[in-house]
Amino acid sequence: MLQGLVDKLANAMKKFKNKGRLTEADVRAGMREIKLALLEADVNFKVVKDFVAKVTQRAVGADVLESLLPEQQIVKIVNEELTALMGTTNSKLTISPKPPTVVLMCGLQGAGKTTYTAKLGRLYKKQGKNPLLVACDIYRPAAIKQLQVIGEQAGVPVFEKGTQDPVKTAKEALVYAGKYGHDMVIIDTAGRLHIDETLMDELKRMKSSVDPTEILLVVDAMTGQDAVNVAQSFNDALGITGVMLSKMDGDTRGGAALSVRYVTGKPIKFIGTGEKLDNIEPFYPDRMASRILGMGDVLTLIEKAQEQFDEKQAAALEEKFRRNSFTLTDYLAQLAQLKNMGNLDSMLAMIPGVKPGQLKDAKVDEKALKHTEAIIQSMTVRERERPDVINYSRKKRIAAGSGTSVEEINRVLKQYDQIKLMMKQFSKGGKRGKMRMPFGF
């Protein structure tokens, strides 16, 4: 996420390293590097100018120039100003006191609007809401079918009326929601390849007819400065209430994330972190600033773990370790929980102390995880419960069934034994009830 910007800022911050004291000239030289890093990341020029001026003003103060650790002071100031630039605090989706909460999704074609309509519905369904998705994009071929397919995958119903006037469809959806107890209505609207009068007129009529609680603009984070121009145009025409940045997991330069709020005055409420339906996160400016500076994001990492965490399962797993009855079936279940937490490389990047760019060549081998799953799934129930019975002939059969090799099977069994031994020692060393982990390694 934002790896290009992370790397460039890391190089810029090197200007402040290994200096016992900083002079004003040192600060200004470092600020020039930070300015170039932000401009290369396609951050809006006015945003860069204002940001650098604020950081410089604070950095040439006595607290920094007379500090024994000036680099840390500079990082602290940059972190605080990045956070302020992106909105200071998390901006939650407004929930209407009188149901249903109506969310109008808008944006250009290709930004991921239909997909993120379903992602948002799934997110709030998991939080106890009863959302309804509404298909109002009648122009893009198969848009309605696409929403139906991913809506079904998300477990959220879709209301559609074919190619009739989308404003009429939206109004009928509200009546349907009231009748069947849907407390949230998320409307997928039409997009265009560019902003035009027809698109805006339809959205204005939609807004007037359904009186949305929120108008969320879905912006492709990979478009950089263009994303800011799009956001400004939609805000001027509709008065958006928030922004959702899609494709933040791609090779995005960071310009949109750092510029959108400054230019529009409207908060970033959600970011997309992958292709799966669960890859959507509330946007926290302070956490994003920490990621950009390579300082990790422990809170998001914990939240991802807790989503997969089950207290009863954890207690049962702990007991299995205590009784030395942890099986390969249990191991397979823990692997599934780990994978459900999302992209493993991005999870590693949330760990504090991991410097920007340090993980470029330290990729998690997700292919090896898939092989491990295939190997365990190719075993019989007895083999999973009693791995000690797996002799060479059984390994050859498992290898053939999983499309792997005997060497890979030996590796999986060795890993299993190591985890079993480690967790047995851990459970013996602590008090009962203290071992509460979402996965067993």
Greater pLDDT, 308 or 433: 308
- Whether the ω angle into residue 100 lies within 30 degrees of 0, i.e. cis, is yes
* Superfamily, domain 3-86: SRP54, nucleotide-binding domain (1.20.120.140)
Q: Tell me which of 275-289, 332-346, 376-390 is least confident.
A: 332-346
Q: What is the predicted pLDDT for the residue at 8?
A: 77
Q: What is the mean pLDDT of residues 383-390?
A: 90
Helical spans, DSSP H, in 293-353: 298-307, 311-322, 328-340, 344-348
What is the per-residue pLDDT for 18? 67
Contact 375, 409 (CB under 8 A): yes
Query: 313-339 burial string, b = 16+ CB within 10 Å, else e?
Result: ebeebbebbeeeebbbebbbbbbebbb
What's the confidence (pLDDT) of residue 439?
A: 38
More confident residue, 260 or 153: 153
> What is the pTM (predicted TM-score) of this model?
0.67
* Order of all β-strands in the sheet with 101-106: 158-159, 131-136, 184-189, 101-106, 214-220, 242-246, 268-272, 280-282
Among residues 289, 354, 231, the alpha carbon closest in space to that of 9 is found at 289
- Residues 174, 185: Cα–Cα separation, whole Å: 7
For residues 139 and 199, the answer to whether their CB atoms sit within 8 Å is: no
Q: Is the pLDDT of residue 265 over 60?
A: yes
The whole-number average pLDDT for the span 16-44 is 81
Q: Cβ(191)–Cβ(177) under 8 Å? A: no
The residue ranking higher by pLDDT, 123 or 60, is 123
Domain assignments of the chain as residue spans, ordered by start? 3-86, 101-295, 303-429
Residue 149: count other Cβ atoms within 10 Å of its Cβ.
Answer: 14
Distance CA 185, CA 95 (A): 11
Highest mean pLDDT among 253-262, 297-306, 390-399: 390-399
**pLDDT, averaged across the chain:** 81
Q: Is 20 exposed, middle or buried (0-12, 13-18, 19+ CB in 10 A)?
A: exposed
- When the candidates are 3.30.70.2860, 3.40.50.720, 1.10.260.30, 3.30.950.10, the CATH number that belongs to 303-429 is 1.10.260.30
Q: Which of 27-41, 66-80, 415-429 has the highest mean pLDDT?
A: 27-41
Mean pLDDT of 183-198: 88
- Comparing CA positions, the residue from 316, 319, 252, 312 lying closest to residue 288 is 252
Q: Which residues contact 435 (CB under 8 A, 6 or more apart)?
A: 314, 318, 321, 426, 427
Instruction: Check whether 5 has a pLDDT greater than 90.
Output: no
CA distances 198 to 32, 77, 139, 168, 191, Å, are 44, 45, 12, 17, 10
Between residues 120 and 57, the one the model is more confident about: 120
Helix/strand/coil for 280: strand
- Look at residue 357 in the predicted model and tell me its pLDDT: 46
| H runs (alpha helix) in 224-327 | 225-238, 255-264, 285-292, 298-307, 311-322
Helix (H) or strand (E) segment spanning residue 224: none
pLDDT in tens, 65-110: 665 566 777 888 888 888 888 888 888 999 999 999 999 999 998 8
Task: Encode pLDDT of 319-363 as tens digits.
Answer: 666 666 778 888 887 777 666 655 555 555 555 544 444 444 444
Long-range Cβ pairs for the range 393-399 (8 Å, 24+):
399/375
Residue 100 DSSP class:
P
In the chain, the percentage of residues whose pLDDT exceeds 70 is 77
Task: Tell me the β-bridge partners of 188.
Answer: 105, 135
Fold of the domain spanning 101-295? Rossmann fold (3.40.50)
How does residue 314 score in pLDDT terms, banded at 50, 70 and 90?
A: low
